[in-house]
Amino acid sequence: MTLDLDLRLRRGAFELALRLSTEARVTALIGPSGSGKSTLLHAIAGIIEPSAGFLRWGDETWFERSKGINKPPHQRRIGYVFQESRLFPHLDVQGNLRFGMRYATPPRSQFAYGSVVEMLALGSLQQRSVHNLSGGERQRVAIGRALLAQPALLLLDEPLSSIDRAHADQLLPYLIRLRDDLQVPMIYVSHDPDEVSKVAQAVVQLGDQRPLFERWQKGMPD
């Protein structure tokens, strides 16, 4: 599936113009703080409205300013994983996971509850309070909740940045399984080149006058 966009975004004094077309299963967004990575994710998700341009996912138009098209987030079938897990503190792990299913379309087999719990090794955690989870466990629950919403596209905004290196290294194999086993299309924001080299198939660099898009030929998965 192709993500095709040509957007102009203004947030106060900040402005971002980006043209991008990618079929990569995992496309990483890199760049310095303030370059617009999270802002772009918010635009893709429908959280903010671009000032101009278009955004298409396959044959679906999610946004096109000139035609007055701006689909709300729930119609874009997007899963979003933030830097912080943003779990509901009053729900246990199972409650948080099942919340992702509330407005989902009928589940695909790979996104069925049992499949997601098994893939992310959450079986023994289901009755646990989220207050008693490690940082890595919390992010696994957040990823599981996003998958159970049956997303067409998964957005991950620095999902490893809020946890220590040891837990980040433990979480990386789960992200690789999402890419290889579930084949979930992802837009992945990170500051860590090593992390990007292990997960991403294509890279977009923000922060220059001309955004850089390149498909890495060495050290990247096919």
Distance CA 110, CA 89 (A): 27
Chain centroid, CA 52 distance in Å: 23
Residue 209 Cα to chain centre, angstroms? 25
Per-residue pLDDT tens over the stretch 134-177 = 999 999 999 999 999 989 999 999 999 888 888 888 899 999 99
CA distance 222 to 189: 20
End-to-end Cα distance, the chain: 15
The order of strands in the sheet holding 78-81 is: 78-81, 153-157, 186-189, 26-30, 202-205, 212-214
CA distances from 161 to 7, 165, 169 (A): 27, 9, 11
Give pLDDT < 70 ranges for the chain. 106-110, 207-222
At 212 the pLDDT is 43
Tell me: the pLDDT tens digits for 42-52? 999 999 999 99
Check if CATH label 3.40.50.300 holds for domain 3-214: yes
Return the pLDDT at 208. 54
CB 87 within 8 A of CB 103: no
- What is the structure's pLDDT at 163? 87
What pLDDT is attached to residue 216?
A: 38
What is the residue extent of each domain of the chain?
Answer: 3-214
